[in-house]
Amino acid sequence: MNSSTKSIFPLFESVCVQHGVVLNVEYHLRRFEEAHQKYYGKRPLFELFEGIEIPNDHKMGKFKLRISYNQNGKEYVLRPYEERRVNRLKLVHDNSVDYDLKFEDRSELNALFEKRMECDDILIVKNGWLTDSSYANIILWDGNSWYTPKTCLLKGTKRMELLEHEKIQEAFIPVSDLYVFQGFQLINAMLNFQPDVILPIKNIIP
């Protein structure tokens, strides 16, 4: 997506389409309406999913539906999803990073991502608190329960769902407490929660 598109449509939603079914609709609608209200100061005049059709040749497998929007309308693209394999995270400290809405302009996050060194992604620390990776929320396993940082940068839709169904809990997690946990996992609209997949906490590199 080029820079002109970013300026025309400053916000977007990434939605998982599995075997022709649009997932987590209610959470995407909620975030879309809240983001539109916060960014434009008014409720949206259009519905996020209205007019979007899944072609017959996209009804098998996993696809990413990207809906870019502004106060007047939207555009969307549907592409096959290729999962990024992430095993190691690099801790990156930045006290000014801000990504509370799902902005098309990810330059700030992309600059931090370039600091990952030999790792697959980053884990951002802001003012001493754990937040997110460059593209996903993190959840941490203490041996009994899953926790997610209350100080996340972006409230992801999968995160919302898991919190509401009490599969994970929110907590303030200072970076000094990171290695109290045993393992972690990344979640977002495209990365489903897998309770048995626990990456070792040593894979988060200081």
pTM metric for this prediction: 0.94
Q: 121-126 and 129-130 as β-strands: parallel, antiparallel, unpaired?
A: antiparallel
Would you tell me how many other CB atoms lie within 10 Å of the CB of residue 87?
A: 10
User: Would you tell me which CATH number, out of the four given (3.30.470.10, 3.80.30.20, 3.90.320.10, 1.10.645.10), belongs to the domain 3-80?
Assistant: 3.30.470.10
Interval 12-47: pLDDT, tens: 999 999 999 999 999 999 999 999 999 999 999 999
Interval 65-74: pLDDT, tens: 999 999 999 9
Interval 166-206: pLDDT, tens: 999 999 999 999 999 999 999 999 999 999 999 999 999 99
DSSP class of residue 144? S
Beta strands in 37-190 (DSSP E): 62-69, 74-80, 89-93, 121-126, 129-130, 137-141, 146-149, 169-171, 183-187
Residue extent(s) of CATH 3.30.470.10 domains in the chain: 3-80
Distance CA 73, CA 79 (A): 20
Residue extent(s) of CATH 3.20.10.10 domains in the chain: 89-205
Q: 89-205 maps to which CATH number?
A: 3.20.10.10
Distance CA 84, CA 68 (A): 22
Phi, psi for 99 (deg, rounded to 5): -150, 60
